[in-house]
Amino acid sequence: MSLLKTCFCFTDTYTLACVKAGESYEVLKEELGLLITEINSVAEKGVIVIDGTQFSLEVFLAADYKFLLATMGLGCATSDYACLWCLVSKKERY
Ligand SMILES: [Zn+2]
């Protein structure tokens, strides 16, 4: 099995949290703050040890665009600045 196939296969994807609340940055920060801190810590190390075996890892955040915008503290997809990757404004988009 190729590395690419194993990395992006749904069987290698795990749900870490479920939150029944609004999808605002403030709510997500409050409800998921400790989890995010732990994920960031593991991601910075780039390795994880399970049962004495060290595994290299790469962390991806996968979600719908609305959730990703909320995690970045951005507004909705139609707001003035709604790009996750750059600072282009709504007026400059085609
Ligand atoms: Zn952009």
Domains of the chain, by residue range, sit at 3-92
CA dihedral defined by 66, 67, 69, 75, rounded to 10 degrees? Answer: 60
What is the distance in A from the centroid of ligand 1 to the CA of 66? 15
Question: Measured in angstroms, how far is the CA atom of residue 43 from the centroid of ligand 1?
Answer: 24
Pick the closest to residue 59 from 14, 11, 1 (CA basis): 14
Tell me the HSE value of 77 on the side-chain side, using a 13 A CA sphere.
5
Q: What are φ and ψ of residue 61, in 5° steps? A: -105, 120
pLDDT in tens, 9-63: 677 777 888 888 887 888 888 999 999 999 899 999 999 899 999 999 888 888 8
| Residue 2 alpha carbon to ligand 1 centre in Å | 31
Distance from residue 69's CA to the centre of ligand 1 (Å): 12
Q: Is the pTM of this model over 0.75?
A: no
User: So what's the pLDDT on residue 86?
Assistant: 92
Q: Among 6-10, 21-25, 71-75, which stretch is predicted with the lowest mean pLDDT?
A: 6-10
| H-helix or E-strand spanning residue 28 | helix 25-45
**What is the whole-number distance in angstroms between the Cα of residue 1 and the centre of ligand 1?**
34
